Chains A and B, each alone.
Chain A
Amino acid sequence: MFRQHVRQLLSTYCHDELAPTEARRVAEHLLVCQRCRGEYEAIKLGIALMRELPTAQAPDTIWPQLEAALTQQTEQTAHDTAPDIAPVHVASPTATQTPRRLAPLFANWARTAAVSFAALVVACLVGGWFYLRPNAPSWEVARLAGAPQIGRERIGERGQLAVGEWLETDNNSRAQISVARIGEVEVEPQTRIRLVETRPTEHRIELARGTMHARIWAPPRLFFVDTPSAVAADLGCAYTLEVDDAGRSLLHVTMGYVALERGARESIVPAGAACATAPGTGPGTPFFEDASDDFLHALAAFDFKQGGDDALKIVLTEARVRDTLTLWHLLPRVDGDERARVYERLAQLSPPPDSVTRDGVLHLDEQMLTRWKDDLESKWLPESFPAVRKAWRHLWQ
């Protein structure tokens, strides 16, 4: 795979101009090739920068000047005078103004009936163009069971979900969405999903309620899911996301990593881990689902029920080596004595690297926290997948 770098294909890939098999090859290569991924980030930045340029409207003064030049040409043609005519130029202190040579044009300019007819044709054509103009971008939706709806219409075996439209399933319906060419989303019953945005550098949906399973084979941070209490940013992975009627959500990651974000609060959730979110709070602290029941209940109380010190004590006591995922995330979420206690327990379970000091961690030195996280990461992924772990570490960085 490394023999076939994809740097030359990256703009084509971002502009969705590659055949599906080729696009998939590029996406898979980007997951494992840091060098190409660096180029991909540059291309994405270039595309994002170009999108910052506003559209421009030509000033109304151009047509009268153009028309004057055309009329001048017509009159000269009629009088069979000199063939050279200079265009009427817009005042421009910097533009170089060069006379243009016009060929004879309008042999029969005064055909009033023809002009009227042409005006009518023009009006019809403009109207027709509005009906025929290109539609908004959309994703294909396949019916898996029941009668999923897009807007108010039930889809048949397949439908198209356009930007801004809602896909809704009832108690008996399920559907599968093709996410551009980068993945798939399975939609469970009682779910409401809206396509918010789809463009080369960002694909975004809103999960208002229900359950979805995502499998994404694109580079990190290309696919986002907005929920009422956080945004799930794909880091190249497979996961399940549930949202209840109160706007709370629960994320289970089955492969790779997902970042849950709201404002400055971020939780990085690796495979095998989960994370809850709640309106007003945002992402809670990620945890492994095989932690003890006491640990899980105490963490939920700490994150969302103001469980305070009592809950924290249980979390620290019950934590295993693998639960350093939770403790590492807790460091910036507590302060004072609580942070010191979290540090001590974390250091007891997995001593920090030599370059990471207690004082630095308690002051939330970003580089030290990152170095410790890099060291801890080996405890968070199954030992049986060293290659996967290495690849995901590259992605995270």
Chain B
Amino acid sequence: MEPVALMSDRQIETGVIAACQRGDREAFQLLFETYKDRVYAIALYFFGGNEAQASDITQQVFLKLFTKIAQFRSEAEFTTWLYRLTTNACVDEQRKVRRLSQLDETFTFDQVCVSEAQEAQLARRETAERVKEAVAELKPKLRVAILLKYFEGLSYEEMAAALGCSKGTVASRLNRGHKALARRLQHLRGALRQGD
């Protein structure tokens, strides 16, 4: 999995955001198209692969973003604001659906049992499935840090800004997240590609 490229040129963002602030729907759509997959991916893996929930979170995030964009001032990075909206939406939603996630886990487990008997080409998908489950069981703060790192390719400084914490805290959360994944999925070491 490669991190998605960032729209790094600040002038591009500034121009599009200014158009959005004037109510330009084409600009809204561009902004949406540029960032939708990143927001969706974070939500998808935050909620253990629940696509409907990820779609719902994505819609909520962009509705909120478009609602508030008139108030956005360019002292802060747009992406920092967007990722903060996204992570907050995920964490808020998590509190509401904690009970229901257990049903989803049971369903996923059944699927895994079926795929275990399939050929090697499916093994990788199964590994991804296990990783997805393990990520979904991390504490929300660790999960968000891990997802921002691997789906957005953010630096520690950018993550610290998005999460509203220090770089040291980011490093600590990533350390704990990685180790928790390794502990839980130690048995998959052999299934990973050589050199990994």
Q: Which of A82-137 contact B (CB under 8 A)?
A: 87-98, 100, 102-103, 105-109, 114-115, 118-119, 121-122, 125-126, 128-129, 132-134
CB-based A-B contact count at 8 angstroms = 227
In this complex, the interface size class of chain B, counting residues with CB under 8 Å from chain A, is 35 or more
Distance in Å: Cβ of B180 to nearest Cβ of chain A: 8
B74 partner residues in chain A, CB cutoff 8 A: none
A334 partner residues in chain B, CB cutoff 8 A: none
Residue of A66, A90, A94 touching B62 (CB-CB under 8 A): A66
In this complex, the interface size class of chain A, counting residues with CB under 8 Å from chain B, is 35 or more
Q: Do the beta carbons of B192 and A91 come within 8 Å of each other?
A: no
- Contact residues of B: prevailing secondary structure: helix
Kindly supply a per-residue 1/0 record for chain A positions 44-81, scoring 1 wherever the CB is within 8 Å of any chain B CB and 0 otherwise. Answer: 11111111111111110111011101100000000000
B127 contacts A by Cβ under 8 Å: yes
Whether A70 touches B195, Cβ cut-off 8 Å, given contacts A12-B171, A90-B52, A100-B60, is: no
Q: Do the beta carbons of B52 and A43 come within 8 Å of each other?
A: no
Q: Do the beta carbons of A50 and B40 come within 8 Å of each other?
A: no
A44 partner residues in chain B, CB cutoff 8 A: 196
CA A49 to CA B178, docked complex, whole Å: 9
Q: Do the beta carbons of A57 and B40 come within 8 Å of each other?
A: yes
B122 partner residues in chain A, CB cutoff 8 A: none
A202 contacts B by Cβ under 8 Å: yes
B189 contacts A by Cβ under 8 Å: yes
B104 contacts A by Cβ under 8 Å: yes
B163 contacts A by Cβ under 8 Å: no
CA A118 to CA B30, docked complex, whole Å: 10
B76 contacts A by Cβ under 8 Å: no
A301 contacts B by Cβ under 8 Å: no
Whether A89 touches B182, Cβ cut-off 8 Å, given contacts A58-B39, A102-B67, is: no
Q: Which of A6-53 contact B (CB under 8 A)?
A: 7-12, 15, 17, 39, 41-53
Query: Nearest chain-B residue to A43 (Cβ)?
Result: B178
A204 contacts B by Cβ under 8 Å: yes
Whether A46 touches B52, Cβ cut-off 8 Å, given contacts A53-B132, A56-B37, A70-B25, is: no
Starting from the known contacts A48-B196, A62-B36, 9 additional A-B residue pairs (CB-CB under 8 Å) come to A43-B178, A46-B182, A51-B196, A56-B44, A92-B53, A94-B97, A100-B64, A118-B24, A125-B12
Residues of B near any A CB (own CB < 8 A)? 1-2, 4-9, 12, 15-16, 19, 22-30, 32-33, 36-37, 39-41, 44-45, 50-60, 62-64, 66-68, 70, 93, 96-97, 100-101, 103-104, 124, 127-128, 131-132, 134-135, 146, 149-151, 155-156, 171-172, 174-175, 177-183, 185-186, 188-189, 192-193, 195-196
**What are 9 A-B contacts with C-beta separation under 8 Å?**
A9-B171, A42-B183, A50-B150, A53-B150, A69-B63, A70-B25, A96-B93, A128-B9, A128-B12
Residues of A near any B CB (own CB < 8 A)? 7-12, 15, 17, 39, 41-59, 61-63, 65-67, 69-70, 87-98, 100, 102-103, 105-109, 114-115, 118-119, 121-122, 125-126, 128-129, 132-134, 201-202, 204, 221, 224
